[in-house]
Amino acid sequence: MTTLNSVKKSVKAVVTGVALVSSVLFASSASAGQEYISTLRGEVKLNQEEKAPVMAKVENEDIKRQRAYPMQPPTIPHKVDNYPVNKNANKCMSCHARDRAEESQAPMVSVTHYMNRDGNFLAEVSPRRYFCNQCHVVQLDTKPLVENEFQDVYQIIGEKK
Amino acid sequence: MNAIKKYLKVLNRPSVHYSLGFLTLGGFIAGIIFWGAFNTALEATNTETFCTGCHEMRDNVFQELKTTIHYTNRSGVRATCSDCHVPHNWTDKIARKMQASKEVWGKIFGTIDTREKFQEHRRRLAENEWRRLKANDSLECRNCHNFDFMDFTRQSKRAMEQHSTALASGEKTCIDCHKGIAHHLPDMKGVEGW
């Protein structure tokens, strides 16, 4: 009788143990999944919406910024709110076009923008370069969301530290 | 028939039938009522609700205005249709209202009653407004944006440069540079500065 009882007890203990372990495992795997999701959308549950961050202001200092690499399209150092760049009008070209640069003292768009893909120079900006904000963007006065590990080419080749 | 004849007789020589005091006072009061009603009706045609009562305005230009700073901004000061498109002082306002009778014509005959028609006419309509603002030295802009009280130090460098030179000397007026600030632009081919 006593042996039967002890067997029963030990079986019970094993069953509870297995149940406990599996539940812990399950729970941890579930929480790992949640963490994975939360890295993408912040520390907010799936069925909740995060409070929108404050909108950052556009830098409007008109000071040219250094380019990170020689071929980088320069960023825009001023506001471009409601500047139309469409089939009808291109506000950027009001100042940056070849024939407007003298009056506006704005940098003329690079000569490559007047080239078609066969390398011929056109009188007007080439249609493939017409949509300025496809490459040129304003910069916001805010902290970057993720760390930037970009290294300047000079850092890589070890010159001009 | 007899009643009409009698009425005409009174109308023909009112001073025979009514006292001079009654006629003077009555005329004065009627004048006030007429003037009040006229002005109220005139003001009613200056409201945003009136302007957007027709789909031509509501579905085209009004939708475009909604995305601009003149419709919604940090301080809540707003410019609505009439602030830019109707002069504030009386004689110019009446002249503009008479011109607007052409717009009633356009409404009746559906000159711009589809989006396509509107876009077809957009350059002409825009040019009308540019011409008007150029001719009156951007009066409607200056009703709010007074040059004398502009603080250049609060402006961006580019704005300061243009305002303190071209605008200050009177060489340029607001509309010369600020086209398409409240509505989308038509095809700008051949427009100066574009």
Across the range B60-79, mean pLDDT stands at 94
- pLDDT tens by residue, B30-54: 999 999 999 999 999 999 999 999 9
A81, B69: Cβ pair inside 8 Å? Answer: yes
Least confident of A37-46, B40-49, B81-90, B102-111: A37-46
> What six digits make up the tokens of A44?
């907010």
Read off the pLDDT of residues B112-126 as tens digits, 9 standing for 90 and up: 999 999 999 999 999
pLDDT above 70 as % of chain B: 100
Q: Which residues of A touch B182 (CB under 8 A)?
A: none
The pLDDT of B125-143, averaged and rounded, is: 93
CA torsion angle B119 B124 B125 B129 (round to 10) = 140
Please give the pLDDT value at position B88. Answer: 85
> Nearest-CA distance from A74 to chain B in Å?
18
Closest residue in B to A106 (Cα) is B158
Amino acid residing at A29:
S
Instruction: Give the closest of A61, A84, A93 to B185, CB-based.
Output: A84
- Distance CA(A84)–CA(B67), nearest Å, equals 13
Å from B181 to nearest chain A CA?
Answer: 7
Q: What percent of chain B has pLDDT over 90?
A: 77
pLDDT at A7 over 60: no
Interface test with B, best of A88, A91, A103 (most B CBs within 10 A): A88
Minimal CA–CA distance to B68: which of A84, A136, A92, A132? A84
CB A97 within 8 A of CB A125: yes
Q: Which residues contact A128 (CB under 8 A, 6 or more apart)?
A: A116, A117
Shortest CB distance from B158 goes to which of A62, A88, A93?
A: A62
Question: What's the whole-model pTM score?
Answer: 0.77
pLDDT tens for residues A13-31?
A: 555 555 554 554 444 444 4
List the 55-114 stretch of A: residues with Cβ below 8 A of B.
60-62, 78-79, 81-82, 84, 87-91, 93-94, 100
pLDDT in tens, A64-117: 999 999 999 999 999 999 899 999 999 999 999 999 999 888 999 999 999 999
